[in-house]
Structure 1
Amino acid sequence: MRKRKITAYLIIISVLMVSLLFMGASCSSTTANVSNAVMTTGIDDNYAPIDNVTEFAVNTDVYVAADLKNAPDDTNITFIWYYEGQQLATKTISNGEVSDAPLAGYLPADFMSQPGNYSVEIYIDDRDKPDTVNQYTVK
């Protein structure tokens, strides 16, 4: 009798552990990715970059354009902008119900008042590492 109880408890605990493992994997795993990120002075009506640059003038608007692929509904995309390693701005958007789409991030000219080294990181959901990092300079 006692052996049956222990076996039953072990089975229940095993089932719970496997369930938790699968729940955690489904919540944190996504096939979404960002590719083809470029810095640009603007984007067209289709969110495509109008050029591909790495240098900007002081007090000009800066854009980053990229492609979002394989994103489940309501995936969050976060743009984090830096100047000389110090965070300047953060913007998070959602893809809604679009799986594959062009992305665009924008940093207003007000943030571009100092010459130096800048960068933008693009993250999918709560990932620890950015999907892409683009560096650029302001002169």
Structure 2
Amino acid sequence: MKKSKFTGYLLAITVLVVSMLFMGASCSATTAKVSNAVMTTGIDDSYAPIDNVTEFPVNSDVYVAAELKNAPNDTNITFIWYCEGQKVDSITITNGDVSDAPLAGYLPAALVTQPGNYSVEIYIDERDTPDTVNEFVVK
């Protein structure tokens, strides 16, 4: 009797897991990561940073350059920009079918209107914690 009860539970769990997968629930974690992020005043044609800075003038474009590694197709990469802890802007891009690639994001000068402490967080897919956080100052 115990064996048939165990088999019933096992069958129910299997059906539940398969149903969740068919409904689109994700049970896997991506191996993608973001590394070597730097703040820069610009990027070149290959998306490499032209310099590595921590201070920017008010009303200037602010760039972050990084590297994406081990990303499955259609991985979402989200950049969230903050000024004094308040969200200023965010954008999500996808890698398409490129597994390893340079990344770049920027905060337009129109959003860099006041001096203070700023930061950018870069997230992979729906992760709760950012892969990287870069802080910088606007003067």
Q: TM-score, length-normalised on structure 1?
A: 0.89
Distance (whole Å) between structure 2 residues aligned to residue 71 and residue 14 of structure 1: 30
Distance (whole Å) between structure 2 residues aligned to residue 11 and residue 48 of structure 1: 52
Larger radius of gyration: 1
Indicate whether 1:44 and 2:44 are aligned: yes
Q: Which runs of 5+ in 1 are unaligned?
A: none
Q: Residue 67 of structure 2 aligns to a residue in which SS? A: strand
Distance change (3 Å), C-alpha of 1:84 and 1:15: same
Deviation at 1:78, TM superposition (A): 0.1
Q: Which runs of 5+ in 2 are unaligned?
A: none
Distance (whole Å) between structure 2 residues aligned to residue 99 and residue 132 of structure 1: 18
1:116 maps to amino acid: G
Q: Could you tell me the percent identity over the aligned residues?
A: 66
Tell me the residue number matched to 1:112: 112
Deviation at 1:13, TM superposition (A): 1.9
Q: Residue 78 of structure 1 aligns to a residue in which SS? A: strand
Tell me the residue number matched to 2:27: 25
Distance change (3 Å), C-alpha of 1:53 and 1:13: same
Distance change (3 Å), C-alpha of 1:7 and 1:111: closer
Tell me the residue number matched to 1:15: 14
1:1-139 mapped onto 2 (5 Å cutoff): 6=5, 8-16=7-15, 19=18, 24-26=26-28, 29-139=29-139
By percentage of residues, which structure has more helix?
1
